[in-house]
Amino acid sequence: MAAEGRSERFIKRRQNRIERRRQEILAAAARIFAEKGYAATTTREVAAAADLAEGTLYNYFANKRELLLAVASEAEAPMEAAAMAASQIRDRAGLVTVVEQALDLPAPRLAFMRTMLAEAWVDDHILEEFAVIRLGRIHRRLTAFITERVADGTFRQIDPALTAQLVIGMFGAVLLPTLRGATPPPDADQRRILAESIVGLLLDGILTRGS
Amino acid sequence: MAAEGRSERFIKRRQNRIERRRQEILAAAARIFAEKGYAATTTREVAAAADLAEGTLYNYFANKRELLLAVASEAEAPMEAAAMAASQIRDRAGLVTVVEQALDLPAPRLAFMRTMLAEAWVDDHILEEFAVIRLGRIHRRLTAFITERVADGTFRQIDPALTAQLVIGMFGAVLLPTLRGATPPPDADQRRILAESIVGLLLDGILTRGS
Amino acid sequence: MAAEGRSERFIKRRQNRIERRRQEILAAAARIFAEKGYAATTTREVAAAADLAEGTLYNYFANKRELLLAVASEAEAPMEAAAMAASQIRDRAGLVTVVEQALDLPAPRLAFMRTMLAEAWVDDHILEEFAVIRLGRIHRRLTAFITERVADGTFRQIDPALTAQLVIGMFGAVLLPTLRGATPPPDADQRRILAESIVGLLLDGILTRGS
Amino acid sequence: MAAEGRSERFIKRRQNRIERRRQEILAAAARIFAEKGYAATTTREVAAAADLAEGTLYNYFANKRELLLAVASEAEAPMEAAAMAASQIRDRAGLVTVVEQALDLPAPRLAFMRTMLAEAWVDDHILEEFAVIRLGRIHRRLTAFITERVADGTFRQIDPALTAQLVIGMFGAVLLPTLRGATPPPDADQRRILAESIVGLLLDGILTRGS
DNA sequence: GATGAATGAGAATTCATTCAT
DNA sequence: TATGAATGAATTCTCATTCAT
């Protein structure tokens, strides 16, 4: 049993080591895919970025496409978090907070999301499996939230699904430059201002009250 | 002089023929670039789609990249039209009309725009030269329009530039699925409903008045 | 008969025009072949240099190789002249004169000779048909001349064929830089000095007499 | 330390293997370049001659031109040797020996030299970098040698540089057919006869003494 | 597991030649 | 005859993947 315990520990350690290496490769791949696009990236470049020999990649991923799918998979977490937050909004202040947090994309995940979104643009499988499913989840939660508020009279008689879609669009407009790598991520102050503006626009519109 | 007239006409005809051919090639290229992405498209595929020998492409475009740049260039017209319209809004009804028209992307141009946007995602030159410049123009016109309305008291004290960005985002949310080829372009009725919803959300917000 | 005479004249003129055009094409081809080598020259370049459409070349030459063979053919004249001169040497002054004249390669023929020699270096047919045959003729005349002089006691008991070969080599050493286009052709004064040096070296050797 | 020693040895062996392979490729390339000329040779032919896949060539040379430059570089040794020998001549017998040795081009190097010389004919960079520099070195050594002999009265008052050039030409005349692949390299007996003839012609001229 | 040389299918591009006008 | 667009075979070079070490 002691021997077994030891070998189990060894196996665990090895698996950890392997998993860690896998993550390093994915991070390297995401960085380069995000920069040059999947199709224009060579496995040699990925290997170099991950500080590995080319052949070693194939001990971790069956082929180049698996690498892409794994990167797209890893883009999941931030969108998941956004979806979770969306369903727990209670009041105006809560809404601002949620928007504010959603604007705080963790920098290391940027490359994953950028890769996924860029590929979704031309790759139907990526689009269906990742973008549609995950954005769909966010959209459904937002729609449900809006439907409730319309029912309880807080919101006007608006189309909840369309409104949810437009809200996602506003988000996109704000996050896109950062995702594209054109501007640095907004800092905490900027996020608060953006969040308040978005929520203000969304709740109150832009007309002067009474006009 | 008759002879000259004739040779001139011949030259003209040839130039027309050449220009027509160029357009056919561009349309074919845009279609395939949009579908598979620039990097994943082969010149062989473009030639086949344009019903030409591979070598013939190079009588019209110096290389594959020139083909991409020409496609991106041709994506200009719809965005130009949108920018023009944005600067001629007078009242709420006018705003609805403009939004409605902007949602009517001419189907044959879809492939050009999709190609351009997909490449802007990974190609800095395309991003700068086409996407940034043209979206920038629309953004500036919108910002100017909002600034005026804030000045004359029609709109609340909001940040015009940020608001313009959010408006563009709402647009994007509505147009994106069509650009991506995921949904057919909205018909006239759908466009009117979308336009009124967007304008309503934008002007009035989603809160019940008085809340 | 008058009519026939007229048509004959027309035919003659046309043939002259055609022949002139052929020569223009050959001169253009020789110039570019000489500069870049036959294999690296495109028919498009030749056509452009001859101020013609590509297709028109093929009204004058069956294909690119015929063009090369025609250029090689035209390289004949200067070598023919050299061979003629070589057989008419009478005395030391005559020898100097002949050498001097042989050093005066007509500039426009340079391109033809350079092309021929460059191709002979890799093309067996050109080597046999042009270089070997023509250099061979010169070599035979020189050998015959030397043989005579050995027989009449003017020259020492040397190997006439080998000596002729060495003489041709001395020539080559002097003409090569010009043929290659590395130095301008020698002017009259330089030619005289070179001729006297060559003849002096050849006849007297380099040892101080009596040593 | 044992492990290190082993890995060092492995690395050494690999480097040796790579270097050997490089040389094989160069030899194959030189052979075909010499036969057909650089421009007319395809990388496919080189690969086939080296018994390799086409792609493998590019693990050893960045592109076709690098292959040519490497071949030209390898043509250096024989010319270097000739230059060395040229500066160590002492007397007539020594001169004959040097000439004799210079006529003994190692057969495997023939293809390298033929390639280099053929390309120098149309490629300015090859001409400058290889032919001019190396022939120039030989020429300078010969010139210096002749200048000394003129100074000490052994040689007549001749132009040393021109004489050196003519001597190189005599060499060329003798070696050219072999370099071109038209005749087999001379054997030892032939080399001695040639050397004595050349030296005899050079030192004594062809006139009967006293004439 | 790690390495990196070898592979060969496939990519972009060129170019001699043809042929309708 | 002159033109130059069209052709497609051939060329150079790349790159995902394999495999012996």
The CATH number of whichever domain residue C41 belongs to comes to 1.10.10.60
* Closest to A82 measured CA to CA, from A150, A23, A168, A202: A168
- The span from the CA of D145 to the CA of D147, in Å, is 5
The mean predicted confidence, pLDDT, of chain B is 88
What does the block give as tokens for B127?
């991003």
Could you tell me if residue C107 is inside a domain? yes
Q: Are residues A132 and A55 in the same domain?
A: no
Nucleic acid strand E within 7 Å of B52 CB: no
The verdict on A210 touching B (C-beta cutoff 8 Å) is no
The verdict on B152 touching A (C-beta cutoff 8 Å) is no
Q: Are residues A137 and A107 in the same domain?
A: yes
Could you tell me if residue D88 is inside a domain? yes
**Residue nearest the C1' of E15 (CA based):** C42
Judge whether B27 and B108 are in contact, CB under 8 Å: yes
C38 lies in which domain range?
2-70
CA distance D56 to chain C (A): 25
Band the pLDDT of D103: cuts 50, 70, 90.
confident
Mutant choice from D31, D206, D209, D211 vs C, greatest count of C C-beta within 10 A: D206
Could you tell me if residue B211 is inside a domain? no
- The span from the CA of C193 to the CA of C151, in Å, is 29
Q: Are residues D96 and D168 in the same domain?
A: yes
Return the pLDDT at C119.
96
Judge whether C155 and D207 are in contact, CB under 8 Å: yes
Reported as a single tens digit per residue, the pLDDT across A146-195 is: 999 899 988 989 999 999 999 899 989 999 999 999 999 999 999 999 99
Residues 11-70/D with CB within 7 Å of nucleic chain F are 41-44, 54-55, 58, 62-65
Q: Which residues of chain B does A194 touch, with a Cβ-Cβ cutoff of 8 Å?
A: 162
Return the pLDDT at A91.
79
Could you tell me if residue C148 is inside a domain? yes
- The span from the CA of C34 to the CA of C113, in Å, is 8
Q: Are residues A98 and A193 in the same domain?
A: yes
φ, ψ for residue C207, nearest 5 deg = -70, 145
The verdict on D2 touching C (C-beta cutoff 8 Å) is no
Return the pLDDT at C176.
92
For residue C132, what is the DSSP state?
I
Q: Are residues A138 and A116 in the same domain?
A: yes
Domain's final residue, options C70, C87, C120: C70
Return the pLDDT at C6.
63
Q: Are residues A42 and A89 in the same domain?
A: no
Band the pLDDT of B6: cuts 50, 70, 90.
low
A and D touching (3 or more beta-carbon pairs closer than 8 Å): no
Q: Are residues C30 and C108 in the same domain?
A: no
- The span from the CA of A165 to the CA of A161, in Å, is 6
Q: Are residues D48 and D90 in the same domain?
A: no
What does the block give as tokens for B133?
């410049």
The verdict on D161 touching C (C-beta cutoff 8 Å) is no
Reported as a single tens digit per residue, the pLDDT across D32-56 is: 999 999 999 999 999 999 999 999 9
Could you tell me if residue B210 is inside a domain? no
- The span from the CA of D211 to the CA of D208, in Å, is 6
Judge whether B168 and B142 are in contact, CB under 8 Å: yes
Judge whether C130 and C116 are in contact, CB under 8 Å: yes
Residues ≥6 apart with Cβ < 8 Å to B13: none
- The span from the CA of B181 to the CA of B179, in Å, is 5
Q: Do B173 and A174 touch (CB under 8 A)?
A: no
User: D207 - beta bridge partners?
Assistant: C155
Could you tell me if residue B209 is inside a domain? no
Q: Are residues C91 and C171 in the same domain?
A: yes
Mean pLDDT of D8-21: 83
User: C207 - beta bridge partners?
Assistant: D155
User: B117 - beta bridge partners?
Assistant: none
Judge residue C165's burial from the number of C-beta atoms within 10 Å of its C-beta, 0-12 exposed, 13-18 middle, 19 or more buried: buried
Per the document, the length of chain C is: 211
How many domains, in total, are found in chain D? 2
Produce one character per residue of A80-103: b if its CB has 16 or more CB atoms within 10 Å, e if not. ebbbebbeebeeeeebbbbbbebb
Q: Are residues C101 and C192 in the same domain?
A: yes
Return the pLDDT at D211.
46
For residue B185, what is the DSSP state?
P
Produce one character per residue of B150-164: b if its CB has 16 or more CB atoms within 10 Å, e if not. beeebbbebbbebbb
- The span from the CA of A72 to the CA of A30, in Å, is 9
Q: What CATH number did the domain enclosing C175 receive?
A: 1.10.357
Domain's final residue, options C31, C52, C70: C70
Tell me the residue type at C148: E
Q: Are residues C109 and C166 in the same domain?
A: yes
Q: Which residues of chain B does A170 touch, with a Cβ-Cβ cutoff of 8 Å?
A: 166, 169-170, 173
The verdict on C173 touching D (C-beta cutoff 8 Å) is yes
Domain's final residue, options D71, D86, D111: D71
Q: Are residues C150 and C194 in the same domain?
A: yes
Q: Do C37 and D155 touch (CB under 8 A)?
A: no
Judge whether B137 and B83 are in contact, CB under 8 Å: yes
The closest nt to C45, taking CA to C1', is E15
- The span from the CA of C49 to the CA of D114, in Å, is 30
For residue C184, what is the DSSP state?
P
Q: Which residues of chain A does B36 touch, with a Cβ-Cβ cutoff of 8 Å?
A: 122
Nucleic acid strand F within 7 Å of A58 CB: yes
Reported as a single tens digit per residue, the pLDDT across D119-174 is: 999 999 999 999 899 889 889 988 998 999 899 988 989 999 999 999 899 989 99
